[in-house]
Amino acid sequence: MGRKTLNNQIQHTLTQKARIGESRHKAKEELKQSYAEKGEKMAFGVAVDGIHSIKTYDVYKEHCERFASWCIQEKGVNKYTKLEDIKQYATEYLKDREAQGKSLYTLKAERAALGKLYGEQIECKFENKRSYKDVTRSRGEAKRDAHFSEEKNASLVALCKGTGGRREDIGKLTPSSFFVDKNNNMFVRFEQSKGGRDRVSPVLPKYQEAIKELISTKAPAELLFDKIHNGCDVHGYRREYAQELYKTVCDNKELKAVYASQYAPRSEKNIKGEYYIAHDKERPFKGLRDNIYIVSEALGHNRLDVSVNHYLK
């Protein structure tokens, strides 16, 4: 058998790590348990083994192949070089990408891809920090919004505003995705959401009737929508959901307790205060961490600062 090119080796290595269809969230919980059994606590940022979605696999493969191409062009390595031999250039490559002005999001994605390829964290700190001020999506009206009628798509809008799902989440919902507790509080179960993670989110009370009416027109396993209108600002509605949910848990202690019961107790390392405070001149924020935590879990985010900076401010 002939020697494999770097790209061949990349594809082979990533394919061996593929766990398509398996729950990433479950894998992470099992990893936490293995640490607990050893009397240790899993450090923040420890990655789970495997790649749990086709999209992630494709993105990682593209990033890794770009790294290999850079090594060939900039370092003069042979395309048949062993993959392990170019690992030494990973940090230099990432710093070069940063010097080219690549966004922090892209840089972190490339670092994660190389870390997955080599099965270890790539040590590289980036200078530029991403701010919520750089994020403009869904904070104003986009051009495509003009081609979308909320009145004609009232059921879709209610579903988005009532559940806070991402576009991919909304497109997978069926009547079987919803359930009610003993007090008739309604929830939605998102399966294989971003990162392969499952989650449960409260359905906001003001949209429950509209969603129940929509559900009644479909068979249990039938998709509520075959296609999500391209002009539908799903992320904008997701932001509205977050703000409405936050207001609800702040104002209604009973519902707060009901929603909190769906999630594991909040646990933040080295955090003692009960309030999250953002000292920002333009948009200062102060809120109970327990309330923000419920919103974060409903949105599928692990970090409270993401929920505050991108959804609640």
Q: Which residues contact 89 (CB under 8 A, 6 or more apart)?
A: 67, 70, 71, 75
pLDDT, position 64: 96
Q: Is 245 exposed, middle or buried (0-12, 13-18, 19+ CB in 10 A)?
A: buried
Closest among 292, 312, 121 to 302, alpha carbons compared: 292
pLDDT, position 303: 87
Closest among 162, 166, 232 to 194, alpha carbons compared: 166
- What DSSP line would sit under 66-84, residue for residue? HHHHHHHHHH---TTS-GG
Most confident of 46-55, 246-255, 301-310: 246-255
pLDDT mean over 4-31: 84
| Whether pLDDT at 285 is above 60 | yes
| Whether pLDDT at 103 is above 90 | no
Q: Judge whether 43 and 86 are in contact, CB under 8 Å.
A: no
Mean per-residue pLDDT over the chain, rounded? 87
| Whether pLDDT at 133 is above 70 | no
Lowest model confidence (mean pLDDT) among 23-37, 54-68, 167-181: 23-37
The more confident residue out of 49 and 191 is 191
| Whether pLDDT at 207 is above 90 | yes
Rounded Cα distance between 107 and 96, Å, is 10
DSSP letter (8 states) at residue 278: E
Rounded Cα distance between 95 and 117, Å, is 18
pLDDT, position 144: 44
| Whether pLDDT at 170 is above 70 | yes
The more confident residue out of 227 and 25 is 227
pLDDT mean over 182-207: 92
Closest among 71, 91, 54, 68 to 8, alpha carbons compared: 68
What percentage of the chain reaches a pLDDT higher than 90? 58
Tens digits of residue pLDDT in 225-260: 999 998 999 999 999 999 999 999 999 999 999 999
Backbone angles phi, psi at 201, to 5 degrees: -130, 140
| Whether pLDDT at 121 is above 90 | no
pLDDT, position 141: 53
